[in-house]
Structure 1
Amino acid sequence: MRVFLIFITMFFLACSSQNKDWQALENLQPNEGVSYVFEGKVGSKEYDLYVEILKIKENVYSVGAKFSQFEGFFEGFMDENKSFTLENLYLPQSFQGNFYFDDDILGLKAKLDTQGLIFDMDLKLSDKKLNQLHFIKQDFEQETFINGEKLSFHRQDNFIFIPYSTKLEKEAVSKLNTNLSFNVSNLQELRQLAQKEQEDFFKEQGFSNESNVEFINDHKLYFSDDKIALFLVNQYEYLGGNHGLSFIGSRIFSLESGEELSNSTKDLFKDTQDEIFLEFILRSLDEKYGYDLNYDNFELTPTFFVDEEGLELVWQPYELASYAMGHINLRLGFKELKPFINEKSPLAYLFE
């Protein structure tokens, strides 16, 4: 009998261990989500895959994904069987598959279709220090009538919470959560504080422009290794007029201390006014865009991203081109940028 009880206990402990990475998702409420970092082979090459899963309602989830070394984002849905189909928003690519458990590790198997070329994918949850985080997507809406016209106010935020179960030091997690999400201890507390911030923002902003108002503030994990985590910040603002304005930026954090690092090219490069450096940037822009850009009073953008392959510079709408052209981006390799990097930058190690 005792042996039987020990066996049963071990069985339940194993099941608990097997499901610990998925329980975070199973226990979510609507508009709560989990981000995972997977790693493994796509065809014969190694990739990281950043996956964001949002619970919409019972057994219905939206899924977003970004490959390292791939351009664009994939989006789609997952069903109750943990199966999904995702489409690239910018390129003719898609992949479909499902999540599974193997030796207590969360995995993902799928087939990637790139213009008829099919690649098998077999990825496992990464062993990076930050391989999982939680988030909530929260909407705040109000309506009013001004001069007989119905106006709406809408704000949507994506608030991030780093669980203390990661491999990071607790002090670093606490600092990260202070910077990202009010230093809360759970998603329920995060939702309460997020709601208060949105309400306070509405009291301050309201319908002061006497027009429809929309604000969107979205954070996504874009890149992480054992030293830093970089989040993509996507913001949109409409305060009346023909169209709104969008902004893309980054926030970078040390995973050792949790401190926020500089996200400006002025601190990353030795001299952003260096003629040789600027000539290299302008030549690279011409190779990609031809002569469709406006270089009058040209300045290096402060905005940049890094990933496993290199660095991406981003100019906001109107900085180099018309609003219709959107954001101007330029990807460059680490090696070709190394001569221009500030050796004192905490990101200098990426360019070695």
Structure 2
Amino acid sequence: MKKVIYIFLLFSSLVFSQNAEISKKDFYFLKGNIGTTPISMYLYIDDNNNLTGKYYYDTIKQVISLKGSINGNTFHLDESINDRIIGSLDGEVSSEMVFTGNWVSADKNNTFSFSFSLDNNYPINKIKIINAKLNIKDDNGSFESSRDAVIIENNKNAKAINRISLDIDETKSINEENIMETLNNLISSQYNTWKETINDKFNMQRNIEVSYIDENIISFSLYNYSYAGGVHGIYNVQPNIYLISTGKRIGLSVSELIDDVADIDLINLMRTKLTRNMSESDFFDFDSITLSDTFDITPTGIKFIWPAYKISDYAHGIIEIEFRYSELKPFVKEDSVFMYLFE
């Protein structure tokens, strides 16, 4: 009898076993010029040579979105603001990741040469993002799971940088093969649980992107979504900010940044930003809202994030407002580790 049970359990495990699809993309932090103006670029290249990302002029710091592809040693990028294409970049890329070519405005009236490449003066300029994904539909419903993990390139084997790689996701490894195996096991375990409980629908996502990077800090934005039954799923955005010199995670509380969160001028500025696209009646208790403990660094300022349901209903989702560095500077602690961003 025991032998029969063992064979049945083994057979069930084999039936339920599913391998996730693994894909990878590389993140590059690039510096250079369009014409004579310095730029900073965050560029992702996936397995299919698709390009996505953003860049900004160092003097203006307006974020411009990028989308395109590489074909051999040539590439094309369209740039846009608010989904409106404003220009394109065409040129060649070398094996050392040096991009050269011409920028052309959307109306074809302006053309500038460009050049940008990895800047080795920065301690972090290349990151590998590994994704495991499993999508299955059958008579019981649908199962979807996708999860990212991160390895920061660390040619000098700095302990602090390895510490960041180990902390940013739950794989606790900087070995690519181990990470792929761990991600696959996590998703397979989710699938087996779903298969045994015969839920109609399961969806779990974790996406990781770089929000900000400079010589001192790096910030990752983790988007999490989960649905395992009920009216709707649960989702949030979690910033993970690190000191590159030590690998320590920082920015866990607004008290690390702001001197007095009850400052009336700061509160009024926050309220103005909250009601830019919403009315006071859209919030649960508008007059009691305080600055969120959750904040992220961007090239243009500090973004404060309230999870869904925190200050408004689910329909309004995650609520975000951004203070430009010049706006927030009067309220920042003089001894804050972030103070240099405002100088």
Give a deviation string over 1:85-137, Cα, whole Å, max 9, x none. 345483202534244239x5622545264677756343222231111111212
1:335/1:85 Cα in 2 relative to 1: closer, same or farther (>3 Å)? closer
**Shift in Å, 1:262:** 2.7
Alignment pair present for 1:163 and 2:157: no
Q: Which moved more, 1:129-138 or 1:191-200?
A: 191-200
Partner in structure 2 of residue 234 of structure 1:
223
Partner in structure 2 of residue 137 of structure 1:
131
Partner in structure 2 of residue 285 of structure 1:
274
Give a deviation string over 1:2-22, Cα, whole Å, max 9, x none. xxxxxxxxxxxxxxxxxxxxx
What root-mean-square deviation, in Å, do the aligned CA atoms of Structure 1 and Structure 2 show? 3.2
1:122/1:323 Cα in 2 relative to 1: closer, same or farther (>3 Å)? farther
Say whether the 8 Å CA contact 2:257–2:333 is kept in structure 1. Answer: yes
1:54 aligned to which of 46, 51, 61: 46
Partner in structure 2 of residue 179 of structure 1:
167
**Shift in Å, 1:64:** 1.4
Say whether the 8 Å CA contact 1:54–1:62 is kept in structure 2. Answer: yes
What is the letter of the counterpart of residue 180 of structure 1? I
Alignment of 1:103-252 (within 5 A): 106-111=98-103, 113=105, 118=110, 120=112, 121-127=114-120, 128-142=122-136, 145=139, 150-165=140-155, 170-181=158-169, 182-202=171-191, 210-241=199-230, 243-252=232-241
Query: Aligned equivalents of 2:191 and 2:81: distance in 1?
Result: 32
Percent identity, aligned pairs only, is 18
- Any gaps of 5 or more consecutive residues in structure 1? 1-28
Query: Aligned equivalents of 1:188 and 1:140: distance in 2?
Result: 18
**Shift in Å, 1:237:** 2.3
Partner in structure 2 of residue 305 of structure 1:
296
1:315 aligned to which of 301, 306, 312: 306
Q: State the SS of the aligned residue for 1:250.
A: strand
Partner in structure 2 of residue 39 of structure 1:
31
Query: Aligned equivalents of 2:30 and 2:339: distance in 1?
Result: 25
1:199/1:335 Cα in 2 relative to 1: closer, same or farther (>3 Å)? same
What is the letter of the counterpart of residue 163 of structure 1? E
Partner in structure 1 of residue 12 of structure 2:
none
Give a deviation string over 1:227-257, Cα, whole Å, max 9, x none. 1111111222233455434322311111111
1:196/1:290 Cα in 2 relative to 1: closer, same or farther (>3 Å)? closer
**Shift in Å, 1:211:** 2.7
1:243/1:344 Cα in 2 relative to 1: closer, same or farther (>3 Å)? same
Query: Aligned equivalents of 2:239 and 2:340: distance in 1?
Result: 19
Query: Aligned equivalents of 1:153 and 1:143: distance in 2?
Result: 6
Q: State the SS of the aligned residue for 1:136.
A: strand
Q: State the SS of the aligned residue for 1:31.
A: strand
Give a deviation string over 1:131-183, Cα, whole Å, max 9, x none. 111121210345565xxxx2122110121101222x6x521122122213545
What is the letter of the counterpart of residue 160 of structure 1? V
Say whether the 8 Å CA contact 2:224–2:236 is kept in structure 1. Answer: yes
Length-normalised TM-score, structure 1:
0.76
Say whether the 8 Å CA contact 2:75–2:93 is kept in structure 1. Answer: no
Query: Aligned equivalents of 2:235 and 2:68: distance in 1?
Result: 23
Query: Aligned equivalents of 1:52 and 1:105: distance in 2?
Result: 12
